[in-house]
Amino acid sequence: MYFSLRQHRAAYRRGLTLMELVVVMSVLIALAAIIVPLLPGLLGRAERSSRATNSQEIYKAVQLFESMYSHYPTDWDALGDGSATPCNWLDGTDGVHGNIGLKTGGPLQLSTLTAAQVSALTGAGINRVQLFSTTAPTTNSGQDVTFNPYSSLTDRSTAGSGQAISTTSNLVILTSLGQFQLNLSDNASTSTGTYVVFGLGKRTSLIGVGMNEAPVNFFDNAALSPDSRYSRYGVVFQVSGVSATNASAGATGPIIDFAHAKFVRVIRFGGTLGVGDDAIRDFWKDVAGGDGS
């Protein structure tokens, strides 16, 4: 009888009393009040930390690919639709979608290349780019700004998506300001050559060989979402240089043509172009100031 009564009481006591529930809820609410305000800061710091490491890993992967195949990956993102007009959803003017700095007076601009500059790219194995949609991609169309912004949803070699690089191709290049932001020149008014900028997307031949997938970088934005910023990394290749004696004159002198394009930088897109050490500096600034948003 004793054991039966004990078992009966144990069965009857399953669960918590109202007072116990109140105590548990009070503790959870108190913990939430402490932890929740910290989450945005922790997320911001984690993103800044990943930016620095991602830039280094991308650079290593591109160099490893070149050492394995004796040429660089191709099918980089063109960051445009192939025309001389920037895609308005990439220039930041709509206040929502990505900003890669394609504005008048900005660090990047669209331009065609000379035959020698095209030869430098193709000689390095970069013979095709992937075009972007002319209008802002939407999830309803099977596209999206961050992961699938291409003009064609089919294979990357399909006409209308993959475009062979030629002297009529409108590609993104660094302006003098852009070269200065990336520490490639001494000031914002002189140039050290011609640098072509590509986006690192999922269609480049680097993916599946040197990297498992294209890393994504979300910039600081109140509306943290894939559509709030163009969040791919980019790569910079130099296709021609400027004679040192003419560099101070604003690159108006003889141009030095390259036989093969030179891989020089991994960048992050935004109003200003960012590199790995910028992310490290921002991270420790947040730690010191207690601001990780």
Whole-angstrom distance, CA of residue 158 vs CA of residue 152: 8
pLDDT in single tens digits along all 293 residues of the chain: 455 555 555 555 566 677 777 788 888 887 777 665 555 555 556 666 676 778 888 999 999 999 999 999 999 999 988 888 888 777 666 555 566 777 778 888 999 999 999 999 999 999 999 998 888 777 667 777 777 888 887 777 766 678 999 999 999 999 999 999 888 988 888 889 999 999 998 899 999 887 888 887 765 554 555 555 556 789 999 999 987 665 444 445 578 889 999 999 998 876 567 654 554 445 444 545 544 44
Contact 117, 111 (CB under 8 A): no
CA 133 – CA 152 distance, rounded (Å): 8
Q: What are the phi and psi torsion angles at 42 (to 5°)?
A: -65, -40
The pTM assigned to this predicted structure is 0.76
pLDDT in tens, 55-103: 888 999 999 999 999 999 999 999 988 888 888 777 666 555 566 777 7
> What crossing angle do the helices spanning 39-69 and 276-289 adopt, rounded to 10°?
160
Give the E-state strand segments of the chain in sequence order.
76-77, 108-111, 128-130, 162-164, 171-174, 193-199, 233-242, 255-268
